A = this chain, B = another copy of it.
Amino acid sequence: MRKYQNNPFNCAVVRTVNYIGGKWKPILLIRLLPGSVRFGKLASQIPDISRKILTQQLKELEEDGLIIRTEYKEKPPRVEYELSERGKTLMPILKAMYDWGVQMEDPETRGTWDPVIPEK
């Protein structure tokens, strides 16, 4: 997403898709709902995403003003990510998209709104 979609009509809906679309961004935004989470925790909760892509997606979300990155200068480095105020305004939309997506879902393989994977 993002540069990829050059949005020839400057359509506001396409613009929104460009902000939140893609394979990982909805999952990241949902995971940040409860509060700030550090990089390593995201990486372990979402094992299928490579660290490079995780970094990149988080950076895009930060550049787009949807999340805030805070770096704590500690002995082993610590970086926390959290939703910005603007990011929080996406929640009603994500919830509506969630509800619609659930309707379209194969009931056999149902996901969850906040699909927490048990940590090792």
| Interchain CB contact (< 8 A) of A100 among B8, B93, B110, B113 | B93
Render A1-35 as a binary contact track against B, CB cut-off 8 A, 1 for contact: 00001111111111111011111001100100000
Please tell me which one of the listed residues B9, B16, B20 contacts residue A27 in the complex, with CB atoms under 8 A apart: B9
0/1 per residue, A107-118, Cβ < 8 Å to B?
A: 001110101000
Out of B11, B27, B90, B96, name the residue touching A11 (CB < 8 Å).
B27
Copies per complex? 2
Closest B residue to A106 using CB positions:
B10
Nearest neighbor of A97 in chain B, beta-carbon distance: B16
Quick check: is A77 within 8 A (CB to CB) of the other chain? no
* B98–A96 touching, CB < 8 Å: no
Contact partners of A6 in chain B: CB under 8 A:
23
A101 at the interface (CB under 8 A from B): yes
A1 to chain B, nearest CB (A): 8
Q: Is the CB of B90 within 8 A of A12?
A: no
Asked if A76 CB lies within 8 Å of chain B CBs, one says no
Residues of B with C-beta under 8 A to A109: 10
A44 at the interface (CB under 8 A from B): no
